[in-house]
Structure 1
Amino acid sequence: MDNTLILGYIGALVVGLVLGLIGGGGSILTVPLLVYLLGYNPILATAYSLFVVGTTSLVGTFQKYKKGLVDIKTGLAFSFPSFLAVYLSRRFLVPNIPNTLFALGNLTLTKEMGIMIFFSIIMLISSISMIKNKKGNKISDEKQAYYKTFIQGLIIGTITGIIGAGGGFLYVPALVLWANIPMKKAVGTSLIIVSINSLIGFIGDVQTLEIEWTFLILFTLTSVLGILIGVFLSKYISGKKLKKSFGFFTLIMAIYIIYRETN
């Protein structure tokens, strides 16, 4: 096993740790890891990311549920429109995006570049929301109308389908701000949405891509080990400080991706 692959598996462990600690951000690490370190093309990398993050989040969901930190009803309410959008975007939208999105003289924007740049833009938005120190999120007993949840789920599902993300970094703030769920429970609830969305999205990819199952399963098992450690450590680490630190890391990664894709 070469050094690059060893670093890749260490990265997979970190992916799980991040998911276990903050309920999102796994794909923020997985996609760049697969593309820039292990050399996979972005289309295959986003597909692998869905499987890795989905399976890892499923394990994390059981761990959080045992602690009473999963709101299943709200999670399923978000999941239904989301997984429809994720599956349809992975099955039909992504395969039909033209290989050349834009060409003018020496400037050419390919499909793979476009996906990575879009991914970095979503990362920038996510990093800003994580860095911002929102004091005193007010949680009320009022639940929003389901049609709003449905529309929100469709929008986030489409975005995460295109970039191959589980969407935890989008669902956690959505659950806190829109569904009025306390932060710790939002982290646990996001995992059930992420696991359903990602695995159904991956089913759409299996029909259009050739999968290296041995590598993918080993990489995923390493990530699962990471989330088990992350869930355990979450009892002792301040979620707010960790989220802010990860926000800065995400910001740096987003800038790096834009630099790599435009140079």
Structure 2
Amino acid sequence: MEYIGYLAAVGIGISLGLIGGGGSILTVPVLVYLFKIEPLMATSYSLFIVGITSLLGAGPYFKNNLIDFKTALYFGLPSILTVFFTRQYLIDHIPNILFHFGEVEISKNMGIMLLFAVLMLFASYRMIKSSPEDKIQKQGNQKLLPLILQGAGVGLISGLVGAGGGFLIIPALIIFNQMDMKTAVGTSLLIIAANSLFGFIGKLEIAQVNWEFLLTIAGIAIIGILIGTRISQNIDGKKLKPAFGWFVLIMGLVVIIQELSK
């Protein structure tokens, strides 16, 4: 199973390089189900892997002037603050047992994975149904308050489930902020990197981190994002969204079945 996990790590990077998101959707299930890492630790590992991979992946987009730094600031800063607050303060106050559903006991770990699965289903629907560019409407200049609120919402989700939030950032940047796909991908990678790395630092416990494993997976994912970025120069990323959406849908259903069958 570990060999499959290493192969999946390449896919994590490729998805980030191609569409500026999706890495987190893959990372947590890969760590939990293929490498048998406890879910809360997996969310922390996911933040580091996705963060460092996205940061390096944003380089080529920066060179090609495909990052909107103004949007990244107003969207990214509230997101960073929210994800840091969530990881540092909120997550520890979530009870170990959330509630009982009939005879099923919903624990914190199970709740995190089920929340992640629901987000995966939502993301798959958005990717399968249509490309975000189809919904762009002519509007005025970007308004700061919507950007701030969008960023804060993404930060909350990122902090809870260890996700960089790219599968939510991309539609928000394109639909509400009229960005073209390539600029949205570059901007998303920068925001994801900041969100993820600050979230990881906010819950960092050096003694518990297996740095050899973590750096190995991150290194493999970096290879993947370099491949994905190169491919994206020749292939329109939006054409890959429906196929990736079906893959995410299947993974989301697998996570739900796995958790409820325990």
Out of 117, 127, 132, the residue aligned to residue 130 of structure 1 is 127
Q: Give the match for residue 100 of structure 2.
A: 103
CA distance in 2, matches of 1:169, 1:105: 33
TM-aligned CA deviation for residue 204 of structure 1: 1.1
Secondary structure class of the residue paired with 2:140:
coil
Give the structure-2-normalised TM-score: 0.95
Q: Give the match for residue 36 of structure 2.
A: 39
CA distance in 1, matches of 2:193, 2:134: 29
1:26 aligns with 2:23: yes
Q: Give the match for residue 252 of structure 1.
A: 250
CA distance in 1, matches of 2:207, 2:29: 19
Q: Give the match for residue 158 of structure 1.
A: 156
TM-aligned CA deviation for residue 137 of structure 1: 3.9
1:183 aligns with 2:190: no
TM-aligned CA deviation for residue 172 of structure 1: 0.3
AA partner of residue 61 (structure 1): A
Tell me the number of residue pairs that the alignment of Structure 1 and Structure 2 aligns.
260
Q: Give the match for residue 237 of structure 1.
A: 235
Q: Which moved more, 1:25-34 or 1:103-112?
A: 103-112
AA partner of residue 161 (structure 2): I
Unaligned segments of structure 1, at least 5 residues: none
Say if 2:174 and 2:181, in contact at 8 Å, map to a contact too: yes
Give the structure-1-normalised TM-score: 0.94
Distance 1:12 1:104, change over 3 A: closer
Out of 140, 143, 146, the residue aligned to residue 141 of structure 2 is 143
Q: Give the match for residue 72 of structure 2.
A: 75
Secondary structure class of the residue paired with 1:178:
helix
Say if 1:143 and 1:180, in contact at 8 Å, map to a contact too: no
Task: Report runs of 4+ in structure 1 exceeding 4 Å deviation.
Answer: none
Q: Deviation digits for residues 55-113 of structure 1, max 9, x if unmatched?
A: 00000111111122211111121110000010111111112211100136632000000
AA partner of residue 254 (structure 1): G
Distance 1:25 1:104, change over 3 A: closer
Q: Give the match for residue 110 of structure 2.
A: 113
Secondary structure class of the residue paired with 1:136:
helix
CA distance in 1, matches of 2:102, 2:26: 34
Secondary structure class of the residue paired with 1:206:
coil
CA distance in 2, matches of 1:74, 1:42: 32
TM-aligned CA deviation for residue 227 of structure 1: 0.4
CA distance in 2, matches of 1:205, 1:26: 20
Q: Give the match for residue 9 of structure 2.
A: 12
Tell me the percent identity: 47
Distance 1:103 1:209, change over 3 A: farther
TM-aligned CA deviation for residue 139 of structure 1: 5.8
